Amino acid sequence: MSGGRNWTVRLREAGVRAMPPEKLLPDGQPVYMSSWIYLFGVLTIAALVIIIGSGVILGLKGPAWWHYTGIGHFFNSVHLWAVELFFFFMVIHLWGKFFMVAWRGGRARTWMSGAIAFLIAIPCAFTGYISQQNFDAQWIATQAKDGLNSTGIGAFFNVLNFGQMYTYHVLLLPVIVVTLVAAHILLVRRSGIVPPLPLSELGIGEAASEGVAGSAA
């Protein structure tokens, strides 16, 4: 039975057309992927998993918990170091993709979704820093307000309002970050991993390997 007027069927068929299962979860990768730099995307995702996991535990016990119990402080430390690792791996991933010219061949949206995820991760981390309820939070909030107020954002994003900032931190911004990362990964799966730059860039002979991207017709 074709899609016809059945929205469910049409959505399912469009989804399967755009992303067949073998494309969503392939069990092979191009042979040119033989560098450690290719691991930094998945390392960034792994750090995000640890951030969310430790963040969930912090959220379960409420924002004040980690100030007065050793186990709470422990999970707060894991959360903080996971954030440092997240940005560490993400920036190296960005450098790698930049030097691979990874936006070639219709992959501009992959680059853009990744860059936007980075830019949204920054205020996500920022709202975390000001939700700490310690001196660092007081200082960062009273300083950041000047920058945000100057742009008018402070009129509806009050960094001195703990309740608002905590909600942005544990819900609103992580949802956006995770959505962007998911879109980023789906785009990678859709277009495939970008091939190496053509051999002509290096002056390698035109009788190049068949099937490897060479000079365009």
Q: Restricting to residues 86-145, which ones interact with other proteins according to CB under 8 A?
A: 87-89, 91-92, 95-96, 98-101, 103-108, 111-112, 115-116, 118-119, 122, 125, 129, 132-139, 141-143
Binding of other proteins by 207 (CB under 8 A): yes
Stretch that binds other proteins, among 6-14, 64-72, 170-178 (CB under 8 A): 64-72
Binding of other proteins by 39 (CB under 8 A): yes
Q: What is the DSSP string of 181-208?
A: HHHHHHHHHHH-SPPPPPGGGGT--SSP
State the minimum distance, in angstroms, from the CB of residue 8 to other proteins.
Answer: 26
Name the nearest CA neighbour of 87 among 130, 112, 119: 119
Rounded Cα–Cα distance for residues 103 and 196 (Å) = 12
Stretch that binds other proteins, among 9-17, 152-160, 174-182 (CB under 8 A): 152-160
State the minimum distance, in angstroms, from the CB of residue 173 to other proteins.
Answer: 15
Rounded Cα–Cα distance for residues 217 and 214 (Å) = 9
Q: Which is nearer to other proteins, 142 or 179 (CB)?
A: 142
What six digits make up the tokens of 109? 């949206």
What six digits make up the tokens of 75? 């999970």
Restricting to residues 162-201, which ones interact with other proteins according to CB under 8 A?
A: 162-164, 166, 189, 192-201
Binding of other proteins by 30 (CB under 8 A): yes
Binding of other proteins by 37 (CB under 8 A): yes
Task: State the residue for tokens 């017709």.
Answer: 217
State the minimum distance, in angstroms, from the CB of residue 13 to other proteins.
Answer: 19
What six digits make up the tokens of 176? 């956006």
- The pairs formed by 26-34 with CB atoms below 8 angstroms and a separation of 24 or more are 26/189, 29/193, 30/192, 30/193, 30/195, 32/195, 32/196, 32/212, 33/193
State the minimum distance, in angstroms, from the CB of residue 182 to other proteins.
Answer: 13
What six digits make up the tokens of 201? 């860039």
Task: State the residue for tokens 């979860």.
Answer: 25
State the minimum distance, in angstroms, from the CB of residue 217 to other proteins.
Answer: 8
Q: Which is nearer to other proteins, 9 or 33 (CB)?
A: 33
